[in-house]
Amino acid sequence: MMNLSSHSQGCQERYNTRHVALRIAYLGWDYQGFASQENTEKTIEAELFEALMKTRLIQSRETANYSRCGRTDKGVSAFGQVISIDLRSNLLEGLGVIQTPGRKAHERPGDKTQEIEYTHILNRMLPETIRVLAWTPVNPSFNARFSTLHRTYKYFFPRGNLDIKSMQEAAQKLVGDHDFRNFCKMDVGNGVVNFWRTIISIDITPLDNGEVGYQMHELTVIGQAFLYHQVRCMAAILFLIGQHKEQPEIIDRFLDIKAQPCKPQYSMASEYPLVLYDCAYKDIQWIYEKGDQDHNISRLQCMWTQQAVRAVTLKRMLDGLNIVPVPAKQTDQNQEASNAEITATRPWHAVHPSIINQAAFLLLGTASKSHKPLLDRPVCESLEDRIKHFAKKQRVDSSD
How confident is the model over 224-257, as pLDDT tens digits? 999 999 999 999 999 999 999 999 999 999 999 9
**Is the confidence at residue 332, as pLDDT, over 50?**
no
Give the chain's end-to-end CA distance (angstroms, integer).
47
> Confidence band (pLDDT; 50, 70, 90) for 210?
confident
Q: Is there a contact between 48 and 95 (Cβ–Cβ < 8 Å)?
A: no
When pLDDT is averaged across residues 262-278 and rounded to a whole number, the result is: 97
At residue 253, what is the residue type?
A: R
User: How far apart are alpha carbons 203 and 221 in whole angstroms?
Assistant: 7
* Catalytic residue from among 30, 73, 179, 256: 73
Phi, psi of 127 (to 5 degrees): -65, 160
35 pLDDT exceeds 90?
yes
d(CA 104, CA 202): 52
Residues 196, 183: Cα–Cα separation, whole Å = 11
Q: Indicate the pLDDT class of residue 357, thresholds 50, 70 and 90.
A: confident
Is 73 known to be catalytic? yes
Phi, psi of 374 (to 5 degrees): -60, -40
Cα–Cα distance, 354 to 115 (Å, whole number): 60
C-alpha torsion sign, points 136, 139, 140, 145:
negative
Q: How much is the average pLDDT of 387-398? A: 66
Q: In 3-state terms, what secondary structure has residue 209?
A: coil
d(CA 242, CA 223): 23
335-356 residues labelled b (16+ CB within 10 A) or e (exposed): eeeeeeeeeeeeeeeeeeeeee
The predicted structure's pLDDT at residue 302: 97
Nearest C-alpha neighbor of 361 from the set 261, 206, 281, 243: 243
User: What is the reported pLDDT for 100?
Assistant: 79
Dmax (CA) of the chain: 109
Per-residue pLDDT band for 369 (boundaries 50, 70, 90) equals confident
Q: For 129, which DSSP code? A: T
**pLDDT tens-digit series, residues 114-137:** 899 999 999 999 999 999 999 999
pLDDT of residue 229: 96
| Confidence at residue 112, expressed as pLDDT on a 0 to 100 scale | 66
pLDDT at 45 over 60: yes
- Within 148-215, strands assigned E span 150-158, 176-179, 196-206
Please name each of the domains of the chain with its CATH number. 4-147 (3.30.70.580), 150-282+371-386 (3.30.70.660)
- Res 354: pLDDT: 82
Residues paired with residue 137 on neighbouring β-strands, in sequence order:
20
Number of CB atoms found within 10 A of residue 388's CB: 13
Lowest mean pLDDT among 31-45, 91-105, 135-149, 313-327: 91-105
CA distances to 31, 186, 292, 386 from 380, in Å: 29, 10, 48, 10
Say if residues 323 and 350 touch (Cβ distance below 8 Å): no
Residue 86 burial (C-beta neighbours within 10 Å; 0-12, 13-18, 19+): buried
CA–CA distance, 264 with 234 (Å, rounded to integer): 13
At residue 322, φ and ψ (nearest 5 deg) are -75, -15
- Give CA–CA dist 218/199, Å, rounded: 17
Q: Kindly report the CA angle at 102 between 98 and 103, in degrees rounded to 5?
A: 55
Beta strand spans in the chain (E)? 16-26, 67-68, 77-89, 97-98, 130-137, 150-158, 176-179, 196-206, 216-223, 274-280, 325-331, 341-347
* Cβ atoms within 10 Å, residue 77: 23
